[in-house]
Amino acid sequence: MPARSAKAPLVPDLLRPNLKLVFCGTAPGRMSALHKHYYAHPQNKFWRTLFAVGLTPHLLNPAEYENLLQFGIGLTDLAKYVSGQDNQLPRGSLGPRAAKALRERIEKFQPRTLAFTSLTGGRSFLGSKANFGVQEPTIGKTRIWILPSPSPKAHWNWDEKMWRELAKEVQKHRGKNGGKNIFPNKFQ
């Protein structure tokens, strides 16, 4: 199915100042755009992984995405006005305008960490040499990570290890600047 375009964001940002972590997808998939929920495809590993690595105390479903704020976690996408698989997005959807808009959102809300949930998204923002893991560039004090995609279409590069490393870093800072330490002994 081809990409879909809209005049308003297809899925609203879930952002507020000083979050511990903001996940950034490339663009909403077809199911996410249809239901207006992040990572809505039933085979997407996002929600199961958040729980498995200790970022949420219980398994959330996509319709509960707004509950992430209580755990210091936010959500956004690089391309806010189109949906589809990465290879279906209109040319330029992940280009300089999208990167500039994302940078502005991150500068405004200043999360501790921004984590791209795909190599495509991370490379669109940081350049083609970026790879999985923590990145050297920052946005102000915001650290940047690139994670393997939880999408069912990207199973070829799935590895939960990088997600666990990110969770360990986030948990290390849970007690600072507010925020709940959901599992205080999980990573000690």
- What pLDDT score does 20 carry? 96
In this structure, are residues 83 and 10 in contact, taking their beta carbons and an 8 Å threshold? Answer: yes
**Position 69 confidence tier, pLDDT thresholds 50, 70, 90:** very high
Say whether pLDDT at 149 is over 80.
Answer: yes
Q: Which residues contact 128 (CB under 8 A, 6 or more apart)?
A: none
Residue 183 lies in a domain: no
> Cα Rg for the chain, rounded, in angstroms?
15
Q: Which amino acid is at 99?
A: A
Q: Worst-scoring range by mean pLDDT, 6-15, 29-38, 65-74, 90-99?
A: 6-15
Q: Quote the domain boundaries for residue 99.
A: 4-172
Would residue 50 count as lying in a domain?
Answer: yes
Q: What is the pLDDT of residue 5?
A: 58
pLDDT band at 4 (very low <50, low <70, confident <90, very high): low
Alpha helices by DSSP H, 53-146: 96-109, 119-126
* Average pLDDT of the residues in 82-87: 88
CATH number of the domain enclosing 60? 3.40.470.10
What is the tally of structural domains in the chain? 1
Per-residue confidence (pLDDT) for residue 174, from 0 to 100: 63
The Cβ of residue 176 has, within 10 Å, a number of other Cβ atoms equal to 10
Q: Is the pLDDT of residue 178 over 80?
A: no
Confidence of residue 66 (pLDDT cuts 50, 70, 90): very high
Q: How confident is the model at residue 180 (pLDDT cuts 50, 70, 90)?
A: very low
Asked if residue 182 belongs to a domain, the reply is no
In a domain? residue 185: no
The DSSP secondary structure of 19-56, one letter per residue, reads: -SEEEEESS--HHHHHHT-TT-STT--HHHHHHHTTSS
Residue 187 lies in a domain: no
Q: Which long-range contacts (CB under 8 A, 24 or more apart) does 29-32 make?
A: 29/83, 29/84, 29/85, 29/151, 30/1, 30/4, 30/83, 30/84, 32/62, 32/83
The helix (run of H) or strand (run of E) holding residue 64 is none
pLDDT of residue 136: 94
Looking at the domain assignment, is residue 181 inside a domain? no
Report pLDDT for 153. Answer: 83
pLDDT number for residue 23:
98
